[in-house]
Amino acid sequence: MYKGPRETRAFCETFRAPDGVEAVICPPYVSLQPALESGHTIFAQSVHWAAEGAFTGEISAPMLLELGVSGAIVGHSERRQYFGETDETVARRTAAALEHDLRVIACVGESLEERESPGQMELVLRVQVEAIADAAGTDEGLVIAYEPVWAIGTGKTATPEQAQEAHALIKSLLDVPVLYGGSVKPDNAVELLSQPDVDGALVGGASLEVESFTAICQAAASLS
């Protein structure tokens, strides 16, 4: 929940993705229109499974498409943590968005307690990914983002080896691109993105400043 229309417009006017990198910007709903005016690829931060109806506060895929939005994040860890998102609702949102030809970044990931309990990380990821796979399959518009919840907004980052292990597991369950999201910064981007099963990054806090987001994109470009 950062950057209203004015700040979003300024950010998008300044940011330029390096050649060879697809950069997607995901502003709040109120800032989608000024972001779209920049010509960048724009995703929303969530999308509802219904095309319309009595769901006050939600936004549908047809509404986003009418604006010109290309896709949406679904099931971000903050949606799961604070707003009651479940594996079932994530799957429903994902399937509905893809059916309307929106691209989707569907998020999965384990808590610190689950990471530290033997076998729980694998079980949690399997349940979350299989719910999405059952609903959507290997749709070409689908990307998974692995978010270790314990590494979001904490300054902690999964080691490249931990990220690779999780990404390999996810890809064994669902053959789609997998992004890493968990305190990605310019100084760790190359090491994370160079792992064989890490296909990109879902950048949080480091995307709020044009300079740091650009540096991460440049790190990705250097590996392409």
CATH of the domain at 80: 3.20.20.70
- pLDDT number for residue 151: 78
**Quick check: 156 pLDDT over 90?**
no
Place of tokens 């997998």: 178
Q: What is the pLDDT of residue 114?
A: 86
Q: How confident is the model at residue 185 (pLDDT cuts 50, 70, 90)?
A: very high
pLDDT single digits (tens) 50-84: 999 999 999 999 999 999 999 999 999 999 999 99
Please give the DSSP secondary-structure letter assigned to residue 51.
Answer: S
Q: Is the pLDDT of residue 141 over 80?
A: yes
Q: Which of 78, 85, 114, 147 is catalytic?
A: 147
For 23-50, how does the pLDDT look when each residue is reduced to its tens digit (9 = 90+)?
999 999 999 999 999 999 999 999 999 9
- Higher pLDDT: 157 or 96? It is 96
Pairwise pLDDT comparison (212 vs 118), residue with the higher score: 212
Is pLDDT above 80 for 152? no
Active site residue 76: yes
pLDDT attached to residue 113: 85
Mean pLDDT of 163-186: 96
State the pLDDT at residue 214. Answer: 98
Question: What are the two backbone dihedrals, phi and then psi, of residue 202, each rounded to the nearest 5 degrees?
Answer: -105, 105
Average pLDDT over residues 83-100: 97
Domain count, the chain: 1
Is the predicted pLDDT of residue 153 greater than 80, yes or no?
no
Catalytic residue from among 40, 48, 76, 167: 76
Report how far residue 205's alpha carbon sits from residue 214's, in angstroms, rounded to the nearest whole number.
13
130 assigned to active site: no
Q: pLDDT per residue over 197-219, tens digit each? A: 999 999 999 999 999 999 999 99
Quote the pLDDT of residue 158. Answer: 85
> Average per-residue pLDDT in the chain?
95
Which residue range(s) make up the domain with 109? 5-223
Mean pLDDT of all residues in 2-6: 98
User: Taking residues 111-135, what's their average pLDDT?
Assistant: 92
Q: Is the pLDDT of residue 191 over 80?
A: yes
25 backbone φψ class: left, alpha, beta (φ>0; ψ -120 to 50): beta
End-to-end CA distance of the chain: 31
Q: How far is CA 218 from CA 153, 188, 210, in A?
A: 22, 12, 12
